[in-house]
Structure formats: C-alpha cells, structure tokens
Structure 1
Amino acid sequence: MIPSAFVALEQLPLTPNGKLDRRALPEPDFAAGREYVAPRSEIEALVCQLFEQVTGTRPVGIHDRFFEIGGHSLSAMQLVAALRGATGREMGLRMVFEHSTPAALAEALARAPQDDAPRLTSGLGTLGEDGVVLSWGQRRMWTLSRLGEDRGAYNLPVALRLEGALDADALAVALGDVIARHVPLRTVIEEAADGSPRGRLLALPTPEALLPVEPIVEEGLAARLAAEAARPFDLGREAPLRAWLFRLSTTEHVLSLTLHHHAGDGASIPILARELGEAYVARAAGQVPSWTPLPISYADLAAWQQAWLEEGGELARQAERWRARLAGAPELLDLPTDRPRRADRAWRAGVLEFAVPPGLIRKLTDLAREEGATLFAALLAGFAATLGRLSRADEVVIGTPVAGRTRTEAEPLVGFLANTLALRIELSGLPDGRTLLQRVHYAEIAALADQDLPFERLVDELGVARTLAQSPLFQAMFVWQTNSAPELVLSGFTLRPERLAPAAAKFDLTLELSPTVEGGVSGHIQYDADLFEATTVARWAACLARVLEGMASTPSLPVVSLPLLTATERVAEVEDWNRTAAPLPEATLAALLEVQATRTPEAVAVVFEDQTVSYAELHVRAERLARALVARGIGPEGVVGVCLPRSVELVVAILSVMKAGAAYLPLDPEHPAERRAWMLADASATLLLATEATAAVMAAAGAALPPVLCLDEKAVMDSLATFPAGPLSDAER
C-alpha cells in the first residue's frame, strides 16, 4: 500500500482502554491539490465509481491516477474483478498499470473482448447428498498431511480477548451460524476407494460441542493458547475450525479459533471475525442474523476454476508462461546456515520483530512512484538485494501470497482462495536501486497476470524434485499484509487480538510486513530455528534495514555497493575476529598426547567405523609399537614408511614413529606399487610398517623393500604385547 496522503494530528484518538481508536481517525483528503474532471460517459462513470470503492477516495475524476489516490497492487486486483463482473469484458491486472486513469481504462475496456470464462453459478460444487468438490489447494493440504509435512504449520490461529459482559450461549450459536454459512468450515477430506481425496460435509454439532468453555487464570493462558494453535488437525475426521472459550472472569474471556489452511486463508479471518460479531449481536438480541445469501459456495468456485483452467485450456497457457519464467532458476537459496539442513528437522519457528520508520517509507514510496511501481515492489527489491548479498547469488526466487479473489463472487467467501507466486528476481549486471525496482515491478505484474495457476500445480508442472529438507521452488517468502486485524466493537464489549507464536516454520525465512497508521511499516521475520540462530537473523535484519535506507537515499548506486555492515561491525569482522594469534605450547605431538591421556584417559580419541579407542588405549598401543621400533634400530634421523589403509592402526603407527623420534613417510595403498617403492628408496627409509596385503602387492611388483613389519601378523601382534607401556625416555631412543 502506497501512502498517498498524510494527516497531521495534535494527538492520536484513543479508546477507553487506551488503545488507538482507528474509527475516530479523520479520513485523508486525497482530493486536495487535484483538479476534478467529471466522467463523460457511462463507462467512465462506472470506472470512477469503482476507483472510489476500492481506494476510499472521493470524488475521483477521469484523470486521477489509481496509484496516486491510494491504490496498490492488491486493490488493483479487486478493481479488475469488479470491472470484469460489471462489464463482462476480458481484462487483466496489466491493463490497470498501463491505463491507470478512468479515462484511459474506460477506453481500453471499450476495445477489450468479451470475457469467455464459463459462467459461475450456485450448485456447481455439490456432489451427491454430502459430497463437495475440493479445490487444488485443499487437495494439496491433504497430500501434505498424509506425508507428515503438516506439523501444525498450516494452522491459522486467532485469539480474541473479549472484554465486557459476554453471553457465551449466544456466542456459541453465532459460531454455528457462521459455520453453517460457509461450506469449507464443515468440510472434511477423506480418502476415496481409489486413493484420491474426497470432500464430505459434516453435520453441524450442538452449540456446546462447538464452543467448550474452560475457566483459566491469566498465568496459564499463553500456554493453553499455544497448545491449541499448534495442535495438528485430522483432516479426514475433524472439522477444520476449532473453537475454545477461556473464561478469565465474568467480564473477560479469550476466544481461541484455530482454522486449518484447507478451509481458509488470511483474507478469510476478517470475514470470519466480522460475521461472528454480526451473528452474536443478532443472537444476543434473540434474533437470527440477517445476512445476504452468498451468491455461490467455495465448492462452486472450486468446480468452476477447475472447469475453466482444465477444460478451457487456461491452465496450459498459464503453465507454459510459468515454465518459461522459471526455467533454470536456482532451486535453493544458499544462505549460510548455523546448523545442517537435515530432512528430519522439526522446522521450529523463531520470530524477530522488524519495522521501517515513516521517514524511510516516504522516501521508498516516492522512489516507487517515480518508477511507476508500488511500495510492495520497493520493499521486495530491498529484501531480494539483501538475500542475494547474503547468499552470493546473481538471482533469487522469492514467494509471495496473493488473495486469489479474482471474481467478485469470491470476495465474501471463507475458504482457501489464496495462491502463492514464485517471483524470480535477477540481480546480475550490477543493477542500481531504480533498475532493481523496475525488475521486481515487472516480475510482479507478470506473475499476477498468471496467478490463477495454483502453486501446487505449478510445482507438478515444473517437475521439481521433492525433498523434506527444503520447500520447493523457493525458501524465502515476502508477505505484504493489508487485511485489517479482526478487531470489532460489539454491544457492550470489545474484541482485540492476542499475540500467538507460530507453531512451525514453513520456509527458511518469511518477511511479513504491513502498513501502520503512523505511516511506517511493521511486522516480523519468521525463520527456521533449526537452521538459524536468533543472532544471525537479527544481523540479517539490520542488513536489510541498511539496504532499504541505501536504496532510498542513493537509488543510482549499484545495490551490491550498498553497505551491509556498520563501521563498527566491519572493524569487528575484518580485524577483531581475525585476531586469532595464540601462544603454542613448546611440546611435541607425542608429548601432548601423553598429557591428554593422563588428563582424560577414558575420553574417546579415535573413531573408525564401529570402533572407538580411548586416549589411554591409544597411548599404550603407540608406546608399545614405538619400543618395538627402537628395538629394530629406529630413532632420531630415521625414516619409517607407513603403508596402511585407513584404520585405527594407521593412527597408532604414525604416533609410534613420532614417539621413537623418527620421521614417518605416508604411502597411500591406492597408489601404484612402483610409485610407493620409489618413494621408499628416495627417502632412504629403513623400515616399512604395512599389512600383509599391502606388503604383498609391493613385493609382487618386484620392488626392492626395506625390512617390513606387518602389523596384522599374529606373531607381530603377540610380540608387541610383551613391550612395556610406559613412555620412552630420550635415553632409550
């Protein structure tokens, strides 16, 4: 959302509870400084009316630019849906960007062909008595659940604190009204006889079963809310909306609602909260909510989408464009991790608060407007530049969600309509801030034009290899949240949201931001705590803030030149962290081993396959072999060849030669025998430590060998056991 007007206030209006009273804020005057020109035709009047509807600006003249009067990419999609429904013309999002005034858009609409999409009517999604058509998104959620990838990560929890005199019985009945109104809230996904998912409608339970009431104290509330938010759903048996009412006192309650993603999305939450409030007001007054009937159900929309995309060929056309767009894109965002990327990790979620001050947002907004882009694109460009710098990549793929409500009939529905777009952002060629902003803007427009292709179908179309170690196509998500928080004032009490920690991380990094009433942007960075430490993500957040500031202040500077570190951090990284000089003990490796064997005799010193050797045992075996070498005349200035395979004996042999005061000559058993024989002769080795096998290979090659001691011969092993295990003295060498 691009702030297009600023209102100066002496103080912010507050509610009786001391919180910001959003409803008391004065409306911005977007008309100030604009010359109003009235519409000249019916089509211009319609476009002006819809501009006013989606931006909240009144009046709108025919020369007012959509993105300068409060419009943004999300409201542009609402405008497209409304215009398509009102005119029956085929149009896409690109048309709004290219014809951003009512006059230009009306002219473009007059030339546009008729929309050839099949008619969307009620009843399309009904299958028999209790069956419903499932959307691609619901099918994908079912597949993930069967693979064990759900982990509660696809729960959408909301906790609302209710302050005032509450009629719990009326609230339970009101919740039933909302569930009865929206098909997804009572849909379970079962496995059909052929192994495919099947949607079935549940009967509406009693109000008592819908909304259990549990007395609780404030100290235990957070843990209970977290447990409810994280508890996975059984998609085949359990209704996808769980509700719980926690009673703190007679005038204070907390309503916990947990919605599974297969039945709703981010845009569904405000609808759910608003209708619950409306139904409660009616039920508390002994009435039935007087809602306008929904034009269609979510299942109808799912059936229509599948018919249009599959049978009409739109799916194939959009898939082809996506394949071209993502061909050769990197499959992994190679950020430096603090822990290994294991497939069996828990995907624990960590959260770091992040904010951009109003002053910087104003500069980014101005930059975006100069380039014909949006604040969304400016923030995403900064995020992409930061990720590229941190991963040393020339391009990154970042996911971003879209509401998916491209038809006006879908706007009042609760359901999983959201889709995810994969934006491929090129960082090669040393782009400056302006160039990168334009690249992101064009990538956004192209992706939005093909947003009807479900993400799960895109993954299948691209043939992306599945792995539990990473999410497909991208591992970083950017969320620009403009949905209003579910905060309602009802008869006698207030609903306000409680903060809930995420149950699990879906991606390596998710940057979620939303505009604030003060003109800034706030949000958080969610990260996979099984990959990254909190300190690492905090350092990256500081890098992102500096990149955004650099893009806004010096947009003509290549983004690779923007500073990621402060002067103090640079000194610490380049100088302080490299001051690693330390005094070394004046002792040989053999002497250090003796000290360690005395200090921690039972500690593990060597591990090879399923064998482990302690420091005490290693010391004893090396000392005995060293004494055997000395008995054979080995000592200072001598050279001993060591031709042993990787094993514990190899470590013992090397240490024994050092204890005897000689030098060891390593000979790789994989090298040609002639090469090893030449090395022995060139070094004037006086003894060869080997196995029977390695010695036989060299002898068979006709090599002239020094005396050989085969450490795996039984006679040799028996002989070694007779030597003392005490340390050799200099006099004995």
Structure 2
Amino acid sequence: MGDEPAIEFVVRDVSGAGDPDAVALGAARDLAGLPFDLVAGPLMRVVVMRVREGEHVLALSMHHIVSDGWSVGVLLREIQAAYAGRELPDLVVQYADYAAWQRSWLTGDVLEEQLAYWRHELAGAPSALDLPTDRPRPATPSHRGAQLTEALDTPTVTRLTEAAQQRGTTLFSVLQSVLAAVLSRRSGQGDVVIGVPVANRSRVETEDLIGFFVNTLPLRTRVAAGDSFEELLDQVSRTALEGLSHQDVPFDRLVQELAPDRDRSRNPIFQVMLAFQNAPTTQTAPGDLDLTYLPVGDTTAKFDLMLLAEETSGGELALVLEYSTDLFTEQTARAVLDDIQRACRAAAADPACPVGELAPVSQREDDLLRTWNRTDRSDRLDSLVARVREHASIRPGAVALTDDHGSLTYRELVGRASRVSRELLAASVVADDRVAFHGERGADAVVAFLGILGAGGAYLPLDPNAPLARKADMVTASGARLLITTAGQTEQTHAIATEAGRTAGTGTVTSEAGTPPTVLVCPTAADAPEELVPDRITHGDDLAYVLYTSGSTGRPKGAMVHHAGMNNHLLA
C-alpha cells in the first residue's frame, strides 16, 4: 500500500435535499454497513457532508481491527487540536511497538500463569446460556440485530453508586451483578458467564495511541436466589478484580485453550456481553466550533444480547440493549431491558434484598401468566353427542363432514349415529363397554364413534392395515364384545372376531373362552329426527375411547381417555 496510508475521504453537499439531516444520517448508516477488505484496505472511511451553512456532518467508519472505543476519543481530541491550530506532540511509542512488546512479554511462565487462572476460573462453567428464544437458533448466525435504548433515572444511579462505594466497588460491578441476576432468572441457570470488554491500556504510553487494544474477559458469576444483592455484588467485584489482573491473554487464545470444540451457532464461552463506556472523551470544542454526537444506530448483533451502559452528564445511566433478531422479537428484548431497570431500582431501594426478588415478574408478564393459566370456563361440554345433535337441530342441512365417498349433513350424521346406538343398546352395551371399529377413516368412522358414545360405550379404533394378530390381540386385551365394520371390511372383521375368540380367556378381561365378539355392519340408514335414541347420560370418569400404542415391550398397550378429559380437550 506504500508508505502513506490510503483513506477514503469523500466530501458531499446535501444542503439542497428536502431533509438534509435525514439524508446525512442515512448516508452515515450506509457507510457503516459497507464491508472492509482486510487485505487490500482501506480500513477507515471518512465522509464529510454539508447540511447547511456553517453545519457539517462528519461520518467515520473504522474496522475494529485498527480502532476501539478509546481510540475514538483520541481521534476526536486530535481533530479538535487540528482545528485549534495546536501541534500534536510526538508519540513515545507506536502501535507496532506495543504489539511487539506484548508478543515478547506474553510467553513462557507469564502466559502459563495467566492461562492457568482462566482454566481454573472457567472449569465446569456451562458452555451456553440457554435463554428462552422466540425463534429457533440458526446453525450459523446472520448477525442481524436491533437496539433498544432507555435511561436509568439519576436518583437510582446515585443510590447505586453509593451502594457500590460502601462495598468498595464500582457502578460497573453493580450493573454486572444486576445483569447476572436477570440472566439467571430468565435462563433458570445459577452459573452465568458474561463477556466484558476492557480497555487493556495499563501502560501510560498507550493512552494516546489509536489502535485495537481492547480485550474481552469472560467473567463468571454464581447466582443464588437466597443470597443478598450485597453478597452477589461482593462476589462479582472479587471476580472482576481477579480477571483484570489476568487481562492480558487475548480472548481468541482463551477460546483455543478452553473451547476447542466449537459450536458455530453460538459465540464461544459466553453469549451475552456487558460494555460500560468510560473511555475519556472530549467535552470542549475550540473557538466557536460546536460538536454534537449523532448516533446512527446499529442493525447488527455481535452476540445474543449485549448491554451497553454510559453515564450521562445529567447523572443518568444510558442503557442500550443490542439483541439478535435471529433469536428475539422486540417485545422479548423490551422485557429483558425492563427487567434490568426494575432490578436496578430494587437494588437501589434495598441493597440487602434477596437476589431472587431483584427482578420480579413484570405486570405485563404477570397478566400473561394469569391469562394462560386461567382454566375456568363459562362454556360447558357435558355430552359431545348432545352438542352435535343440538347443532343438527339448528342447521340440519349443513354439511357435517366429507370423505372420498361424499358428504353427510348434520341431519344424516346424527340419524345414522342414532341407528348405531340403537343396535348397540339392543346388544346390551353399558357404560365403559369397549366397542371396536374396524374400517377406514371417513364418514363411517365418525358415525360409529358418535353412535358408540351415544350408547354409553367406549370407542376402540382398529387400523385395517395392521396385522390380523395385532388387531385380534387388541380386541382380546380390551375385552371388546362388539365389532362395528363397514361393508367392504366384513370378511376381515369376522376373521378378527374369530381369532379374538380363539385367544379369549387367556388372562384377558374377556369372560368366556372361545366366544368371538359380535360383528355389526355400520348402518347406512338413518333414524328420523323424532326417532333419535335418547342420549345415554355419561359421567366424567366414564370411558370415551381407548387408543393402543406400539408398546415399549412390543405388545400394544391401551391408553384410556375418559369423557372429562376428552370434553376438556375439545373445549380447548
């Protein structure tokens, strides 16, 4: 690239646009969305836009590999110095000097001591924070994201700062404690790892350098609901101090050491980051120059969640929650941010309160829980047959069901079902008697089902495609005395009855060995509305139907469903 760095520098005049401010911000967003070529460069782009007389917007886009948050403050100070005509002092060291020093120092015993700390600290830590998500986690993240912004009020921030000072720690540790408590409650995990970026400028010579110094520390917190917030804060403070004393190992080296088996769907070691912006920034401008920071927002997400916090000049704490739109809706992200604010206020009001009471369920979530768990009903279903007959009396000519052979109206459906009930009652069917139906799925199956229920019996379906021995075993095991079939299945149904009769009495509920079940053909004729068989009164614990599963032993097992359960399911 030559001796001189190549930087794209573009000047535009947008003052003639209908809304020059919106055009300038849109151009800044577009600039931020452009990718960088790490091989060919450039790694920094600059656009200056004139929006009106005496007012310009400066948009800077820099790849993180050449700059960090601290570097932005350095750059702005140097721009101000240039405006004021001040000469910048020579740098004592360059970034290349720092890189060479770090590489030579962080070897041997020094590197091993730092790595040993992190191995011990993260031993047994969960590989993932399993927060409930609104969408399935993609195999490869798209890194699409969005942001929500809120401000924690000054009185709350003041009380939290005082609480931190009383425990000999910082507002950052307070916020980390709150975030750990919220994440623990939402994930149901008592062991939480949060990524924390550190400036990593421990030497005074690096304070005026522009470059990528920042490192990330995976700080682990054990959250116990019964501990007080002060106890949690003490633990977080100790962990942060120990982590800072071992901050020199680059995070990518920790990943190589601690997470060799990578899951491409998640960030390694931690999935939530907390960033507290306290890098020095410029507060004054030379002469009559007025500088205003214009946030352009971000449509990317580096992690599942990232909380950014910055103290404002008015004493508030600006909170920005960046979230992955692959995983979360705006509503869920808003609930998380609300949890954080409520937990901050609870900790400020009583630092000794139990951790489990920091972030109680919000009013909105409580209303949802009460709605979801409200099982009382104004609508009752005491008899499915009676409900169908009631509908048939209102709309007798409406189509009730359709199959491959045609349609049945409600009048025809209840009339044919009544004819089935009549024949079953003539065969002395009583409550809980199992009555099998052997036929294809279709209108006849529904007719048989309603007819069996109307006689007080329990419906037992037999799959025509199942082996004969299996169907006979189900009939025998259930104790079914009656088999209803269709005209096309008569021969097979008699074979089932014969086989069931042959095996009856061998430890089953069938009362008499050698007696095959009676076979009835589902009638095609229908009772007239005035001749419907009275609906047999059933109770909630009477059997409605029996379904046979494959059985873990290879032998089919019957699952019995009672009227109360069936009716509740149908109402739901």
**Do they superpose with TM above 0.5?**
yes
Q: 1:312 aligns with which of 108, 112, 121?
A: 108
Aligned counterparts of 1:302 and 1:651: Cα–Cα separation in 2: 77
- Residue 425 of structure 1 aligns to a residue whose secondary structure is strand
Q: Is the aligned partner of 1:394 residue 2:190?
A: yes
Aligned counterparts of 2:37 and 2:313: Cα–Cα separation in 1: 40
Q: Which amino acid aligns with 2:101?
A: W
1:589: Cα distance to partner? 7.1
Aligned counterparts of 1:468 and 1:255: Cα–Cα separation in 2: 37
Q: Which amino acid aligns with 1:242?
A: R
Question: Is contact 2:309-2:320 (8 Å) kept?
Answer: yes
Equivalent residue, structure 1, for 2:329: 533
Aligned counterparts of 2:308 and 2:43: Cα–Cα separation in 1: 25
Equivalent residue, structure 2, for 1:552: 348
Q: Is the aligned partner of 1:462 residue 2:258?
A: yes
Q: How does 1:659-670 map to 2 (within 5 A)?
A: 659=450, 661=452, 663-665=458-460
Q: How does 1:16-31 map to 2 (within 5 A)?
A: none
Question: Is contact 2:225-2:354 (8 Å) kept?
Answer: no
Map Cα deviations across residues 199-241 of structure 1 (whole Å, 9 max, x no partner): xx78534x8x522425352343333222222233233333111
Map Cα deviations across residues 130-176 of structure 1 (whole Å, 9 max, x no partner): 7xxxxxxxxxxxxxxxxxxxxxxxxxxxxxxxxxxxxxxxxxxxxxx
Q: Which amino acid aligns with 1:439?
A: Q
- Residue 204 of structure 1 aligns to a residue whose secondary structure is coil
Question: Is contact 1:659-1:728 (8 Å) kept?
Answer: no
- Residue 274 of structure 2 aligns to a residue whose secondary structure is strand
Equivalent residue, structure 1, for 2:556: none
Q: Is the aligned partner of 1:204 residue 2:1?
A: no
Q: Structure 1's 393 and 661: CA in aligned 2 closer, same or farther, altered over 3 A?
A: same
Q: Is the aligned partner of 1:230 residue 2:21?
A: no
Q: Which amino acid aligns with 1:227?
A: D
Q: Structure 1's 246 and 431: CA in aligned 2 closer, same or farther, altered over 3 A?
A: same
Map Cα deviations across residues 301-351 of structure 1 (whole Å, 9 max, x no partner): 333323322x43433322221111111112222223233333356444332
Q: How does 1:78-227 map to 2 (within 5 A)?
A: 204-205=5-6, 209-215=8-14, 216=17, 217-227=20-30
Equivalent residue, structure 1, for 2:367: 572
Aligned counterparts of 2:251 and 2:442: Cα–Cα separation in 1: 54
TM-score (norm 1): 0.56
Q: Is the aligned partner of 1:258 residue 2:55?
A: no
Q: 2:228 aligns with which of 426, 429, 432?
A: 432
- Residue 292 of structure 2 aligns to a residue whose secondary structure is strand
Question: Is contact 1:434-1:556 (8 Å) kept?
Answer: yes
Q: Structure 1's 569 and 248: CA in aligned 2 closer, same or farther, altered over 3 A?
A: closer
Q: Which amino acid aligns with 2:449?
A: M
Q: How does 1:183-582 map to 2 (within 5 A)?
A: 204-205=5-6, 209-215=8-14, 216=17, 217-282=20-85, 290-309=87-106, 311-343=107-139, 346-428=142-224, 430-463=226-259, 465-485=261-281, 489-490=285-286, 492-562=288-358, 564-565=360-361, 572=367, 575=370, 578-579=373-374, 581-582=376-377
Aligned counterparts of 2:123 and 2:346: Cα–Cα separation in 1: 31
Question: Is contact 1:335-1:390 (8 Å) kept?
Answer: yes
1:458: Cα distance to partner? 1.1
1:383: Cα distance to partner? 1.8
Aligned counterparts of 1:258 and 1:642: Cα–Cα separation in 2: 73
Q: Structure 1's 631 and 479: CA in aligned 2 closer, same or farther, altered over 3 A?
A: same
Q: Structure 1's 481 and 581: CA in aligned 2 closer, same or farther, altered over 3 A?
A: same
Map Cα deviations across residues 22-58 of structure 1 (whole Å, 9 max, x no partner): xxxxxxxxxxxxxxxxxxxxxxxxxxxxxxxxxxxxx
Map Cα deviations across residues 458-497 of structure 1 (whole Å, 9 max, x no partner): 1221125433433222222211111244665245532321
TM-score (norm 2): 0.71
Aligned counterparts of 1:515 and 1:319: Cα–Cα separation in 2: 33
Q: Structure 1's 699 and 460: CA in aligned 2 closer, same or farther, altered over 3 A?
A: farther
Q: Structure 1's 672 and 429: CA in aligned 2 closer, same or farther, altered over 3 A?
A: farther
Equivalent residue, structure 1, for 2:449: 658
Aligned counterparts of 1:295 and 1:406: Cα–Cα separation in 2: 15
Question: Is contact 1:622-1:653 (8 Å) kept?
Answer: no
Aligned counterparts of 1:557 and 1:357: Cα–Cα separation in 2: 20
Aligned counterparts of 1:356 and 1:305: Cα–Cα separation in 2: 39
1:257: Cα distance to partner? 0.9
Equivalent residue, structure 2, for 1:612: none
Map Cα deviations across residues 104-152 of structure 1 (whole Å, 9 max, x no partner): xxxxxxxxxxxxxxxxxxxxxxxxxx7xxxxxxxxxxxxxxxxxxxxxx
Equivalent residue, structure 2, for 1:50: none
- Residue 436 of structure 1 aligns to a residue whose secondary structure is helix
- Residue 495 of structure 1 aligns to a residue whose secondary structure is coil
Structure 1 unmatched runs, 5+: 1-129, 131-200, 283-288, 602-614, 710-719
Question: Is contact 2:225-2:355 (8 Å) kept?
Answer: no
Equivalent residue, structure 2, for 1:105: none
Structure 1 stretch displaced more, 675-684 or 473-482: 675-684
Aligned counterparts of 2:267 and 2:434: Cα–Cα separation in 1: 55
Q: Structure 1's 526 and 404: CA in aligned 2 closer, same or farther, altered over 3 A?
A: same
- Residue 291 of structure 2 aligns to a residue whose secondary structure is strand
Aligned counterparts of 1:373 and 1:343: Cα–Cα separation in 2: 40
1:707: Cα distance to partner? 8.7
Question: Is contact 2:418-2:527 (8 Å) kept?
Answer: no
Aligned counterparts of 2:443 and 2:51: Cα–Cα separation in 1: 69
1:373: Cα distance to partner? 1.7
Q: Which amino acid aligns with 1:235?
A: L
1:357: Cα distance to partner? 2.6
Structure 2 unmatched runs, 5+: 505-515, 534-572
Q: Which amino acid aligns with 2:34?
A: R
Q: Structure 1's 401 and 670: CA in aligned 2 closer, same or farther, altered over 3 A?
A: farther
Aligned counterparts of 2:240 and 2:89: Cα–Cα separation in 1: 35
Q: Structure 1's 377 and 394: CA in aligned 2 closer, same or farther, altered over 3 A?
A: same
Q: Which amino acid aligns with 2:40?
A: R
Question: Is contact 1:629-1:657 (8 Å) kept?
Answer: no
Question: Is contact 2:144-2:299 (8 Å) kept?
Answer: yes
Question: Is contact 2:437-2:461 (8 Å) kept?
Answer: yes
Question: Is contact 2:144-2:300 (8 Å) kept?
Answer: yes
Q: Which amino acid aligns with 2:185?
A: R
Question: Is contact 2:420-2:448 (8 Å) kept?
Answer: no
What count of residue pairs does the alignment treat as equivalent?
492
Question: Is contact 1:270-1:486 (8 Å) kept?
Answer: yes
State the superposition RMSD in angstroms: 4.8
Aligned counterparts of 1:383 and 1:290: Cα–Cα separation in 2: 44
Q: Which amino acid aligns with 1:271?
A: V
- Residue 60 of structure 2 aligns to a residue whose secondary structure is strand
Aligned counterparts of 1:643 and 1:449: Cα–Cα separation in 2: 76
Q: Which amino acid aligns with 2:94?
A: S
1:435: Cα distance to partner? 0.9
Question: Is contact 1:688-1:706 (8 Å) kept?
Answer: no
